[in-house]
């Protein structure tokens, strides 16, 4: 049972993010994911067009 007591103590030491910080960080993550998705879509499209041009 000592393990669970230590876990509880450690969780008490954790500094949890506020709702505002969490929302800001989540927005940053989603925007970054969106930018990467657009980037990889553009690269994939360009490679597809290049290969189809070279195969003709």
CB 25, CB 17: distance < 8 Å: yes
pTM of the model: 0.68
What value does the mean pLDDT take over residues 23-39?
Answer: 98
The C-alpha atoms of residue 5 and residue 7 are separated, in whole angstroms, by 5
On the question of pLDDT at 1 being above 80, the answer is no
For 33-55, write each residue's pLDDT tens digit: 999 999 999 999 999 999 999 99
The C-alpha atoms of residue 31 and residue 29 are separated, in whole angstroms, by 6
The C-alpha atoms of residue 15 and residue 22 are separated, in whole angstroms, by 13
On the question of pLDDT at 18 being above 90, the answer is yes
**pLDDT classification of 31: cutoffs 50, 70, 90:** very high
Tokens standing for residue 44? 């994939």
At 34 the pLDDT is 98
Tokens 């910080």 sit on residue: 21
């Amino acid at each position: 049972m000592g393990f669970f007591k230590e876990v509880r103590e450690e969780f008490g030491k954790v500094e949890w993010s506020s709702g505002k910080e969490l929302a800001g960080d989540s927005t940053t993550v989603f925007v970054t994911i969106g930018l990467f998705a657009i980037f990889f879509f553009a690269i994939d499209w360009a490679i597809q067009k290049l290969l189809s041009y070279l195969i003709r």
